[in-house]
Amino acid sequence: MLIKKIRNFAIVAHVDHGKSTLADRILEMTGTVDSRKMRNQFLDKMDIERERGITIKSQTVTVFHDHNGENYQLNLIDTPGHVDFTYEVSRALAACEGVVLLIDASQGIEAQTVAHFEHAKKLNLKIIPCLNKCDLPDLDMNDAIIDAADYLDVDPDDIMQISAKSGLGVKDLLEQIILKVSAPKTTSEYFRGLVFDSEYDSYRGVIAHIRIVDGEIRKNEKLNLIGTNTNLDALEIGYFRDSKVPKEVLSCGEVGYIVTNLKNISECRVGDTVALKKNVEKVEALGGYEPANQMVFSSFYPVDGKDFEKLRTSVEKLSLNDASITWDVENSPSFGFGLRMGFLGPLHKEVIQERIEREFNLDIISTAPTVSYKLVTADKSSHHIKRIRDIPYDKNIREWMEPIVDATISFPKDYLGKVMDLVQKKRGSFSSMENNGYRVFAKYEIPLAEVVNNFFSNLKSATQGYAGLDYKFSGWRSSDLQVVEIHVAGNSVEALGGIIPKDDVYTFSRSLVDKLAKEIPRHQFKVPVQAFSGGRIVAAKTIPPYRKDVIAKCYGGDITRKRKLLEKQKEGKKRLKQVGTVAIPQSALLSILDL
């Protein structure tokens, strides 16, 4: 295919604005997928994606479309919409020259729409704004077009109107992509390719998804990954249709895959530059990507301690196809061996947990999501704190610092008061605000710890489901924080503790202890639940034991007989308390989210 007849583009949008549905219609109209094989959300490969109705992993497909009697190759990348997977979107955009910015005509521009628009502008990509669901009844399209044009600062005539569900206007959209998105450009005769994604196949090893930036590549050529200085063979090359289609040559501008002989996906780093081994010294590495930044941390423990190795194996296999997961082994007195894992966000954590339980048939207990902190000691050394046990108690702590995010919240203006109250409770500070028709875009600086603690659920509740949220890490802020440790039956349970603002210590501790006393089941002995902070107990409650009525058979007689039975019961419970263990259920571990 001639380079002037290739177009690389991505579909980006807010959650539920119709990206995957539009991709389905494009596949149908270009005859890429046989009608017998066609199903909804065709590019979403995982069961969990189709069940939840969300895209988790970016997917690539090549389609062909006739324009004025000439055949064009369109390489489409369908991207996720949720804020947790923004990193996936940024990788996809680096492999494109244009984007279709999809907007739900009934909802208007929302927080993630703005984030994707700004990112595409920064990369100088051609942006084709497109209003979807234009065939909905009782919809004022004129207002929708004017609002979108005002915010995006474009001519209203440049905004496409389509219905991804019925296919209305989709062919016109394909024509506009061919006319407006520029063909790929080349600057060197030597082969260079950008690795924008990778996957692991248990039979064929690592498969790199690449965008050919310069030159061409042929099957069986010797290659080198410049960033990691890893040699590999192109055992098979090709492009993506409804499945992988082998090809002898991939040329400049095309998007495809390389089946390598690598067995470890960490050797094929996303963002690396692949070149011919014989020309590697003549080739300059491409810009690549910033590494994924883990925002949320949680511990996973198997319900049955014997399944720890099975848990570790399952996470190793998942991380082969998701390089954004980090993990290391930890040991808890309450739960035994487990894994401390890092994720891109709360939804990412939920998805990984569900995949482990479903795909590997494992029952696991997970702790509430937390964030990392920075701590500066008296000797001016800085420490990264991912869990309470990382705190250097042997040194004087001079300053605590917590991560802050720049959050953009979009919502109907009728809910302005409720949103402001919620953000204030979450220790957020106002930055700016602007109106777009009936919607408001408010920007705040909010501690990340507050965002991952059910903030989005509370925001949806406050706005009856109409709010949208986008956030990105902005830096560290000095805060007056204090550690709260929870002891259950005399043993410290790190998973239940937290690092929280000093002013909230008493309220937080009291609420958490009361909640735990309800969630932890009664045992045959008393179970004291205590919250420690600053070297003292700030809240405590005792879960009463089960007690058998040992004097029920004594209808009368000497009182000493009854006392003897009660004393015997008391001694038995005392011995049981020394050897008994307290079962802490999953609901107790997640009770911190409800505070």
The answer as to whether 570 is a domain residue is yes
**Domain final position from 338, 366, 394:** 366
pLDDT of residue 579 exceeding 60: no
Same domain? For 519 and 390 the reply is no
Summarize pLDDT for 534-561 with one digit per residue, the tens: 889 999 999 888 666 656 667 666 777 7
**Structure letter (DSSP) for residue 78:** E
For the chain, count helices (H), then strands (E).
Answer: 14, 31
Task: Find, among 498, 544, 499, 485, the residue nearest to 520 by Cα.
Answer: 544
Higher pLDDT, 364 or 333: 364
- The contacts of residue 35 (CB under 8 Å, 6+ apart) are 28
Note whether 26 and 159 are same-domain residues.
yes
106-120: per-residue pLDDT in tens? 888 888 888 888 888
Question: Residue 85's pLDDT is what?
Answer: 75
pLDDT the model gives residue 394? 72
What count of residues does the chain have? 595
In 3D space, the residue among 12, 131, 151 whose CA is nearest the CA of residue 83 turns out to be: 12
Considering the domain architecture, whether residues 427 and 444 belong to the same structural domain is answered as: yes
Within 10 angstroms of residue 3's Cβ, the number of other Cβ atoms is: 15
371-395 residue pLDDT tens: 999 999 888 888 888 888 888 877 7
| pLDDT at 86 exceeding the cut of 90 | no
* 16 Ramachandran zone, left/alpha/beta (phi>0; psi -120 to 50): left
* pLDDT (0 to 100) of residue 578: 45
Instruction: Evaluate if residue 35 carries a pLDDT over 80.
Output: no
Mean pLDDT over each residue of the chain, to the nearest integer: 85
Q: Which of 40-54, 282-296, 443-457 shows the lowest mean pLDDT across its residues?
A: 40-54
Q: Are residues 469 and 515 in the same domain?
A: no
Q: Residue 593: is its pLDDT beyond 70?
A: no
Q: pLDDT-derived band of residue 290, with 50, 70 and 90 as boundaries?
A: low
- Return the CATH number at 25: 3.40.50.300
Is the model's pTM score more than 0.85?
Answer: no
326 with 421, same domain: the answer is no
Q: What is the DSSP string of 18-42?
A: SHHHHHHHHHHHTT-S-TTT--TTT
Residues 528, 531, 537, 543, Cα dihedral to 10°: -20
- Residue 136 within any structural domain of the chain: yes
Kindly report the CATH number assigned to the domain that includes residue 518. Answer: 3.30.70.2570
Which residue is it, tokens 């050394």? 381
> Is the pLDDT confidence value at 580 over 50?
no
198-223 per-position pLDDT tens digit: 888 888 888 989 999 999 999 999 99
**pLDDT the model gives residue 585:** 72
Asked, for residue 38, whether it belongs to a domain, the answer is yes
Q: Are residues 14 and 80 in the same domain?
A: yes
- In total, how many domains does the chain have? 5
Report strand pairing: 98-104 vs 126-132: parallel
Query: Are residues 247 and 155 both part of a single domain?
Result: no
Which residue did the predictor score with more confidence, 305 or 248?
248
- Is residue 385 within a helix (H) or strand (E), and if so which, with residue range? strand 382-385
Q: How confident is the model at residue 309 (pLDDT cuts 50, 70, 90)?
A: very high
Domain end among 429, 446, 479: 479
Shared domain for 525 and 581, answered yes or no, is: yes
Decide if pLDDT at 488 tops 90: no
Question: Tokens at residue 167, please?
Answer: 């296919």
The tens digit of pLDDT for each residue in 129-166 reads 999 999 888 888 888 888 888 888 889 888 999 998 88
pLDDT 10s digits, 96-106: 899 999 999 88
**What is the Cα–Cα distance from 18 to 302, expressed in whole angstroms?**
37
Full DSSP string of 239-302: EESSSEEEESEEETT-EEEEE-S-S-GGGS-TT-EEEEGGGGGG-PPP---PPP---EEEEEEE
CATH number at 473 reads 3.30.70.240
Q: Quick one: 458 and 488 in the same domain?
A: no
Quote the domain boundaries for residue 301.
296-366
Average pLDDT over residues 590-594: 63
Q: What is the pLDDT of residue 453?
A: 83
- What is the average per-residue pLDDT within 300-326? 85
CB atoms within 10 A of CB 580: 14
The CATH number of residue 237's host domain is 2.40.30.10
pLDDT higher at 96 or 523:
96
Average pLDDT over residues 492-506: 87
In a domain, 302, yes or no: yes
453, part of any domain? yes
CB-based contacts of 555, cutoff 8 Å, min separation 6: none
Share of the chain above pLDDT 70, in %: 92
* pLDDT at residue 65 in the model: 92
Q: What is the mean pLDDT of residues 85-92?
A: 77
Beta-carbon contacts of 13 under 8 Å, excluding residues fewer than 6 positions away, are: 19, 81, 101, 102, 103, 104, 112, 113, 116, 132
Q: Are residues 126 and 79 in the same domain?
A: yes
Among residues 308, 335, 366, the one where a domain terminates is 366
Q: Is the pLDDT of residue 451 over 80?
A: yes
Cα–Cα nearest to 40, from 31, 51, 32 = 51
**Residue 505 falls within a domain, yes or no?**
yes
Residue 187 located in a structural domain: no
* Domain presence at residue 41: yes
Percent of the chain with pLDDT over 90: 30
Answer yes or no: do 251 and 152 share one domain: no
What percent of the chain is helix, strand and coil (3-state, nearest 5)?
30, 35, 35
What would the pLDDT profile of 267-277 be if each residue is shown by its tens digit? 887 788 899 99
pLDDT tops 60 at residue 586: yes
Q: 88 or 234: whose pLDDT is higher?
A: 234
How is 142-184 classified by DSSP, letter by letter? HHHHHHHHHHHT--GGG-EE-BTTTTBTHHHHHHHHHHHSPPP
Co-location of 543 and 486 in the same domain: yes
Vertex 104 angle, CA 98 and 110, to 5°: 80
